[in-house]
């Protein structure tokens, strides 16, 4: 087998390191066509596509940044508005509370005045009624007593002045009695 | 042992890389030539439809095309050459990567199964282009004298070292670089294809011509052939990557004043 290989290598087999000129020429032509196509078509197209994509990504990023800034500004604005509204609400609440308190105080005052007035009315009425009662009793008791006395004494106390004096003294005695009931 | 039976086992050799012509009377036009041309048709068609109407949200085809393009653009061109100048060289590096990758992968695509780059003329053609480009860029950038001066006498080295360094750098940049660039690609594809032939044709021979145990053992050969096929896919893509990477590095080196 070894000898066979040697024989072949030395004899009929061509030397693989010796190029055919045709190989070089065909290689150059084939590669030249490919190179021309790649340089004129493939590279420009792909480069354009790459550049567009890069631009799109960068543009997208810039857009996103702007949107983010806008969103942050809007948020800030909303927060400020919210704080304003909150302050305003607090103020309104405070005012309402003060107003309520004022109304309440006024009402209370009015009620107090009304009640005072009613009490005073009642008192004066009672006083008047009492005075009337006292007066009527005064006259009635005087008459009754004088009639009684007239009957007992059998003597007419016609003298008005003396009669009145007696009645007054009688009533004064009644009033000054320590255990006497209220008129 | 096997060689004694019938006409015997013929081990694969460089003769397997010499294919018969497709069209009669057109002796030189064999399968790899057709493949190199078809690869261009496939790549042009694919990237035409991928890049025809680029949209912000890519279609599946555009996404695939942009994926390959973006990888080469970012990892091979921009990161190595720098964001200022890479766009000028991106078509070259990208074309090299896709052209070599597809022609390499042809080596394991069923019914094609031949890597174009295992014929040394093709790697040489590509290397020629790279060699012209990076030297031309260096001369344009630094002037003809400056280019060779910066190449052979890099600053920051004791002057007596230049006796050794200057010729080494010259030989390395001008002669060794293209040699290794083309040989690396060629040899990887050549050896890879040879390896697949050994396992698969060897397995076939064992199965058809062998007896008893040898027939059974052919399973192992086929299994290895399949394993090596996947391994080859890795090597094929990797070699395309390395070729494009080195191209970018050579250009970047020629552009910068310092080595």
Cα dihedral B161/B166/B167/B168 (nearest 10): 70
Collect all residues of chain B within an 8 Å Cβ-Cβ radius of residue A21: 121
Cα dihedral B181/B185/B190/B192 (nearest 10): 140
Taking only the tens place, the pLDDT of each residue in A124-177 is 999 999 899 888 888 888 788 777 777 766 555 566 777 777 778 877 887 777
ipTM for this model: 0.89
Closest CA to B247 of B102, B149, B146, B126: B126
Give the model's confidence band at B193: pLDDT under 50 very low, under 70 low, under 90 confident, else very high.
very high
Determine which of A56-65, A118-127, B3-12 has the lowest per-residue pLDDT on average: B3-12
Nearest CA-CA distance, residue B95 and chain A, Å: 6
Once rounded to an integer, what is the mean pLDDT over residues B175-193?
95
- DSSP string spanning B207-219? HHH--THHHHHHH
Once rounded to an integer, what is the mean pLDDT over residues B155-160?
86
Contact B131, B182 (CB under 8 A): no
Closest CA to B114 of B207, B224, B25, B33: B33
Query: Under an 8 A CB cutoff, do A34 and B13 touch?
Result: no
Query: Under an 8 A CB cutoff, do A20 and B98 touch?
Result: no
pTM here?
A: 0.70
Give the model's confidence band at A9: pLDDT under 50 very low, under 70 low, under 90 confident, else very high.
very low
Length of chain B: 259
- The helix/strand/coil state of B21 is strand
Query: Under an 8 A CB cutoff, do B44 and A34 touch?
Result: yes
Nearest CA-CA distance, residue B248 and chain A, Å: 16
Collect all residues of chain B within an 8 Å Cβ-Cβ radius of residue A27: 36, 121-122, 124-126
The parent domain of residue B180 ranges over 2-255
Residue B75 has pLDDT above 60, yes or no: yes
Give Dmax (Cα) for chain A: 201
**Encoded tokens for B22:** 């497709």
The per-residue pLDDT for B65 is 92
Contact B179, B107 (CB under 8 A): no
Once rounded to an integer, what is the mean pLDDT over residues B145-166?
88
Query: Under an 8 A CB cutoff, do A23 and B33 touch?
Result: yes
Taking only the tens place, the pLDDT of each residue in B101-143 is 999 999 999 888 899 999 999 999 999 999 999 999 999 998 8
Residue B30 φ/ψ, nearest 5 degrees: -105, -175
The per-residue pLDDT for B240 is 96
> What's the distance, CA B73 to chain centroid?
18
Backbone φ/ψ region at B19: left (φ over 0), alpha (ψ -120 to 50), beta? beta
Residue A1 has pLDDT above 70, yes or no: no
What's the structural domain count of chain B? Answer: 1
**Encoded tokens for B144:** 């003809």
CA-based nearest residue in chain B for residue A46 = B51
Collect all residues of chain B within an 8 Å Cβ-Cβ radius of residue A38: 47, 91, 94-95, 98
Residue A49 in contact with partner chain B when CB distance is under 8 A: yes
The per-residue pLDDT for A2 is 43
Residue B179 has pLDDT above 60, yes or no: yes
CA torsion sign, B218 to B223 to B226 to B231? negative
Nearest CA-CA distance, residue B71 and chain A, Å: 12
Distance between terminal CA atoms of chain A? 167
Residue A79 has pLDDT above 50, yes or no: yes
d(C-alpha B188, C-alpha B93), whole Å: 20
Residue A3 has pLDDT above 50, yes or no: no
d(C-alpha B137, C-alpha B252), whole Å: 9
Contact B76, B245 (CB under 8 A): yes
The per-residue pLDDT for A20 is 87
The per-residue pLDDT for B7 is 55
Closest CA to B110 of B234, B240, B233: B233
Query: Under an 8 A CB cutoff, do B56 and A56 touch?
Result: yes
Residue B40 has pLDDT above 90, yes or no: yes
Contact B165, B154 (CB under 8 A): yes
Give the model's confidence band at B216: pLDDT under 50 very low, under 70 low, under 90 confident, else very high.
confident
Give the model's confidence band at B211: pLDDT under 50 very low, under 70 low, under 90 confident, else very high.
confident
Per DSSP, helices labelled H in B106-176 are 121-152, 162-171
């Amino acid at each position: 087998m070894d000898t066979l290989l040697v024989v072949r290598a030395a004899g009929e087999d061509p030397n693989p390191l010796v190029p055919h000129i045709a190989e070089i020429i065909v290689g150059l032509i084939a590669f030249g066509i490919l190179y021309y196509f790649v340089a004129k078509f493939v590279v420009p197209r792909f480069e354009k596509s790459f550049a567009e994509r890069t631009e799109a990504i960068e543009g997208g990023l810039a857009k996103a940044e702007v949107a983010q800034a806008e969103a942050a500004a809007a948020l800030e604005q909303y927060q400020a508005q919210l704080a304003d509204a909150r302050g305003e609400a607090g103020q309104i609440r405070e005012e309402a509370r003060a107003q309520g308190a004022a109304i309440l105080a006024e009402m209370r005052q009015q009620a107090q005045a009304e009640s005072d007035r009613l009490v005073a009315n009642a008192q004066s009425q009672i006083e008047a009624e009492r005075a009337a009662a006292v007066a009527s009793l005064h006259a009635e008791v005087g008459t009754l007593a004088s009639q009684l006395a007239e009957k007992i004494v059998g003597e007419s106390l016609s003298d008005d002045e003396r009669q009145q004096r007696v009645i007054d003294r009688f009533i004064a005695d009644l009033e000054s009695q320590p255990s006497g009931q209220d008129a | 042992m096997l060689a004694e039976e019938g006409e015997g086992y013929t081990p694969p050799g460089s003769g397997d890389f010499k294919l018969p012509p497709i069209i009669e009377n057109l002796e030189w036009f064999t399968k790899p030539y057709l493949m190199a041309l078809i690869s261009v048709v496939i790549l042009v068609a694919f990237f035409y439809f991928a890049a025809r109407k680029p949209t912000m949200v890519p279609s599946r085809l555009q996404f695939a095309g942009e994926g390959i393009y973006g990888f080469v653009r970012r990892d091979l061109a921009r990161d190595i050459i720098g964001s200022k100048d890479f766009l000028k060289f991106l078509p070259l590096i990208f074309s090299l990567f896709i052209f070599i990758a597809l022609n390499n992968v042809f080596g394991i695509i069923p019914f094609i199964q031949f890597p174009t780059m295992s014929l040394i003329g093709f790697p040489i053609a590509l290397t020629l282009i790279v060699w012209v480009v990076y030297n031309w860029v260096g001369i344009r950038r630094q002037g003809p004298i400056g280019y060779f001066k910066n190449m052979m006498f890099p600053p920051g080295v004791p002057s007596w070292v230049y006796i050794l360094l200057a010729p080494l750098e010259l030989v390395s940049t001008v002669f060794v670089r293209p040699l290794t660039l083309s040989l690396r690609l060629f040899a990887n594809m050549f050896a890879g294809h040879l390896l697949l032939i050994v396992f698969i044709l060897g397995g076939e021979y064992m199965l058809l011509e062998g007896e008893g145990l040898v027939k059974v053992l052919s399973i192992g050969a086929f299994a290895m052939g399949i394993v090596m096929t996947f391994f080859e896919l890795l090597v094929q893509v990797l070699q395309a990557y390395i070729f494009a990477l080195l191209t970018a590095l050579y250009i970047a080196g020629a552009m910068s004043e310092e080595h």
